[in-house]
Structure 1
């Protein structure tokens, strides 16, 4: 069985024979006139099908003789000459494990018939393509229903929460793809560090990353590149990438290559000219120590919130030791005074989406999620001091530092998938004085 058929089976076991699951794929999006943006499949749809064509709907009927039905575009030689090959309906049944393939143009006509006498409709329509059909799906009767037959009153449920919790635990196939995305992204970050120099534009460093990850099989990035020099790093999701890097500034990079739909997510911060000043080094070490304090706690059974609490304590103590914060450490933590400079939370799940789906709390509970083997997530503490922050000494102003690694929970601890991207001060300065990838 393929990874996708196993996931469909796993999903079906959470439903019952009175259920129908409907998963809507993505459509092409127009960029301008007859030019489309590069197509990317809906993540839930891809997770269950592995199929990467637009205008598709997957129907799963647990316990049925034909449990897996796909509505999709049929073959069309004219369109395929213009825009690329299609699997076609025969190809779906022959090569993609589909029990029955139906032309997408017949979807609205035939979908209700597939419900038969099942009462529960589980819907994943993340882009709202068929929201206008839900009322019809609830109330439509089969044409052959006599007036005195047993009536079927349907109910609609959201399917996404079930898929989301499945996606939190990665299977071996997913882990292999994430590891390759991480490896490619590590090489991309090294190349960016080595391309950095005064007056080099941020867009050049961004393009350097894209060029490098393509050598490792990535044809896209998992999110918009962030290459933020100097005070630009204060903006957490800076994507302009259009300013020249200035000597003496730091560059904050948040870059993740996407490999076969799975992404990495790495942040590094380094001096434009390859050498940390004393102030930059002092702040940088605080952030790195905070990151490592959180990583050290990762193991099955640990609670998600403990990672955040650990790095916040290290960040607060570091800011206190440097004189940026004042007072008692416990009072600082109780009031969250450090959050003025640390800003964001610990990290997030990672996989098909950079901020991947899944709850951070245990199901039906107010308790934080307990870590389990094969969870993958980021840890990314940071310190951000705006250039106009006159409450701190001038040497700290305009420095933004974020360090982010991708962590896999194992049976007895963790693997840092991105540790080869230079992260210590010595590693960064050595890397930037070289011209070779690691």
Structure 2
């Protein structure tokens, strides 16, 4: 891997710190049960600034006229490496990841008060981790205890997340390349699940197809717990049981993405278990697809984050009128939110190191205070319609649920859809042909 993108981000952050100090710890290892751990996943903020994969590590950035980029990490340890695997150690990590200096993690507690002394500000993600809040408070108390010799503690403590959230909202070329790769792998996984699908299979069998294809193509694994929801299960937005059988002539909704190099892809596809859409399924699917196409067309620089949601709502509302689910006009449906029983979520979210990535959506409380889209932003476009069994809709719609989700980069003159799983009815039915 190359350390230059991470170094550039640290140096950009240092310009914000001025004469301050920033402390960015990675995530701790988590116990699953007894002495077994969950698979390790680093903290996204830490990874964004380092690319360093090990636990027990902390970045300290010291601003000012002589800036310092310091990594604290585990020392080399032959015995632990025999049990747990390779460790970089401070010396190797310093060069491999482009830091100006590196020290053993065990020395952090001793060094931290000196790093904080006589600095104007401390930048830290307050309230994110109680243990770290306490450790930093202890270091500050140590600095304050030296006030008789003229040593000053930082006069202000500032939340680092706002600065980093703003940085992470606009993806650089390094991030875009990784996210495209994650999207390619996830798209292939969804196509694989379509080809494998047969009536009578269990939902978890399709989940297994996805997991195999993701790992086979080099992904680190799922970016989030996948949803594989057959029939009416798809009316449960966060259904993750994935343990029911797939009935012939029903639809199955799969919401799944993979993680590559820390970055998430996020795709949803809905397709017929038997390989062919029936007329009602086809009609609902075409409405949702048209809503997605209208939303994608509204993603462009200068548009607000809510514009593409409103574009989808207009098409979905007209579709609900055509299906005889609601009555009246589209404008009336939008004003009264008559669509909400069947479309209750937003049309997308930011995407990046976290599947629901960081970054503000609004800059204030007024109706027009939504964030304006700009080149480099990555987001999802995911309209849907959900008709629960027993709902006050035509009986043929009971248990029908469709969502279509793709990943999009805002470009200089519009947007680019960078996921490529089969999406139109013709594409899906062609992939699912069982010749």
TM range (shorter): over 0.9
In the other structure, the counterpart of 1:31 is 32
Matched ranges for 1:227-238 at <5 A: 227-238=228-239
CA distance in 2, matches of 1:51, 1:265: 24
Q: 1: CA distance between counterparts of 2:428 and 2:101?
A: 55
Q: Distance in 1 between matches of 2:16 and 2:98?
A: 21
Aligned position for 1:433: 433
1:53-77 alpha-carbon deviations (Å, 9 max, x no partner): 0011100012354611111111111
Match of 1:84 in 2: 85
Aligned residue number for residue 247 of structure 1: 248
Contact 2:117-2:152 within 8 A present in 1 as well: no
**SS of match in other structure, 1:129:** helix
Deviations 1:343-372 (A, max 9, x none): 100100001010000001248986111111
1:57 aligns with 2:58: yes
Matching of residue 159 in structure 1 with residue 160 in structure 2: yes
Cα distance, 1:434–1:259 mapped onto 2, change above 3 Å: farther
Q: Give the direction of change, closer, same or farther, for the CA distance of 1:204–1:153 in structure 2 (3 Å limit).
A: closer
Post-superposition offset of 1:40: 0.6
Corresponding residue SS for 1:319 = helix
Change (3 A) 1:114 1:84: same
Residues 61-116 of structure 1 show CA distances to partners (whole Å, capped at 9, x for unaligned) of 12354611111111111000000110111112232222222222232222111113
1:132 equivalent in structure 2: 134
1-side partners of 2:130 and 2:365: how far apart?
27
2:421 is matched with: 421
Considering only aligned residues, what root-mean-square deviation do their CA atoms show, in Å?
1.8
In structure 1, what is the equivalent of residue 99 of structure 2? Answer: 98
Contact 1:55 / 1:104 at 8 angstroms: preserved in 2?
Answer: yes
Name the residue aligned to 1:265: 266
Q: CA deviation at 1:237?
A: 1.2
Using structure 1 for the length normalisation, give the TM-score.
0.95
Q: What's the counterpart of residue 383 of structure 1?
A: 385
CA distance 1:153–1:58, change in 2 (3 Å): closer
Q: Distance in 2 between matches of 1:212 and 1:148?
A: 63
- What is the Cα deviation at residue 322 of structure 1? 1.1
CA contact (8 A) 1:138 1:154 kept: no
Rate the CA distance shift 1:127–1:188 in 2: closer, same or farther, 3 A: farther
Where 1:94 maps in the other structure, the secondary structure is helix
- Measure, in 2, the Cα distance between the counterparts of 1:21 and 1:388: 55
Asked if structure 2 preserves the Cα contact closer than 8 Å seen for 1:139 and 1:154, the reply is no
Q: Provide Cα deviations, 1:210-243, integer angstroms capped at 9, x if missing partner.
A: 1112232102111001100011101111111111
User: How is 1:27-426 mapped onto 2 (pairs within 5 angstroms)?
Assistant: 27-63=28-64, 65=66, 67-124=68-125, 126-141=128-143, 145=146, 147=148, 149=150, 151-362=152-363, 367-389=369-391, 391-418=392-419, 420-426=420-426
Show CA shifts across 1:129-157 (max 9, x none): 312234334433277x4726364453211
